[in-house]
Amino acid sequence: MIKKIVLLMLLAGFVAIASDALSQSTSSGPALTNPATPGSTSSPSTSKPSPSAPAKDVSKDSTSSKTTTSGKDAASTKTTPTSSVVAPSAPSSRMLTVERALITLFKDTKVPATEAGMLMGPHPVEEGSSVEKDELVAQIDNRATLAKQKITEAEYLAEKARSENEAELEVAEAAIKVSEQEYQMNLDIQRTNRAAVSESQIRKDKFNLEKSHAQKKQAVNEKHISALNANAKYAQYEAASIELDLRQVKAPFKGEVVEIMKKPGDWVTVGEPIMHIVGLDKVRVKGFVFASGDDAALPGEVIGKKVKITVEGLGGKKSSVDGVIGFASPYIEGVGSTRQFRVWAEVDNDKITDPATGQVSWKLQPGTVATMTIDLTPTKPAAAGKTQAFKPVTGDDKANTKKKSREF
């Protein structure tokens, strides 16, 4: 009985909920119907098409895409990483200025006398003269040396002729033939008639034959000794020629004569300077570079770098030449902020002509103070070769590649 009452109460509650839901559905207005459903009718407001493009079914497209990838591409896609090339950045320029650099000479020689004697004159050159390398600039008395050279030359030629003489050797060879024939003839006569030729005669003939052989050896030996004497005389001739050459004072390099210290008629000893010659076609510019501080560098950063040498002439006119740092001392001098090292550069010097006076002078004068501007800009790295970029290879690309290979 109780169960029936409970069931009736549940049934009444369910009927009340259903009637409430039905009443709410009726009060909300007519429902839109799907125009794709056949046999359905709709009001004019609901059947008007939307101006926008119909939306795709996302779930359907995504499902189709997944199916295609998993079925075709997933098995055949081969992906490799794509490389990228990063262009190198341009190196930043850096200039190092060295103030109060000094222009100096490195071709600077006081030409010495290489032999003792009196200077013969006049000198072939004067102060201010330009000279070439190995040009004669002074002459030391060489008369005795010249005579010695002539004597040794004659002795050499005499010994050489004696060593080339074949007369004594030919006489010795002829004597051997005669002695051998006489000795053999007497032996044959003695065999037929022993009493016809005595034993003493046979001994004399044998002695004459041996003497002829010894004379031939002596002739060969004399030729060899004459050849050795000829070589010795030639060595003496060369020594005289060297001594004669040393008495001719020559310029060691191309330059200019700036001072003559000994005049013709003066006596000079070995090593005594005769004249002063300098080379101005190439000069050396020396300076010091700080190794600490803001405007500093190290020897390894400076060596081999391009440098511009600037000098200021009369009237404030500046001129400059280009060169390369040829030396940077590995020894750093000083302490603290004054630490520095020595550098120098060899630069070619040029001649300039004054338009007003027409005088010719050198652009860089030794002893002048100059400014060195060293280019410390790092060298630009060499351009890398073309880098190939790879892209993923799909199954379609693989099929196209096989198709092209079959066509060939």
pLDDT in tens, 88-105: 555 577 899 999 999 999
Which residues of the chain fall below pLDDT 70? 1, 6, 18-91, 314-315, 380-408
Write out the two tokens for 261: 């210290």
Buried/exposed 12-51: b ≥16 CB within 10 Å, e otherwise: eeeeeeeeeeeeeeeeeeeeeeeeeeeeeeeeeeeeeeee
pLDDT for 293 equals 81
pLDDT for 49 equals 39
Write out the two tokens for 399: 């099929």
- Nearest-10 Cα torsion for 191, 196, 201, 202: 0
Q: In whole angstroms, what separates CA 251 from the centre of its chain?
A: 32
Instruction: Specify the pTM.
Output: 0.57
> Taking Cα atoms as reference points, which of 295, 280, 287 lies closest to residue 364?
280
Question: What one-letter code names the amino acid at 344?
Answer: W
CA gap 45, 30 in Å, rounded: 12
pLDDT for 82 equals 37
pLDDT for 331 equals 93
pLDDT for 60 equals 42
pLDDT for 345 equals 95
CA gap 327, 228 in Å, rounded: 52
Token look-up 């006119």 returns 317
pLDDT for 12 equals 75
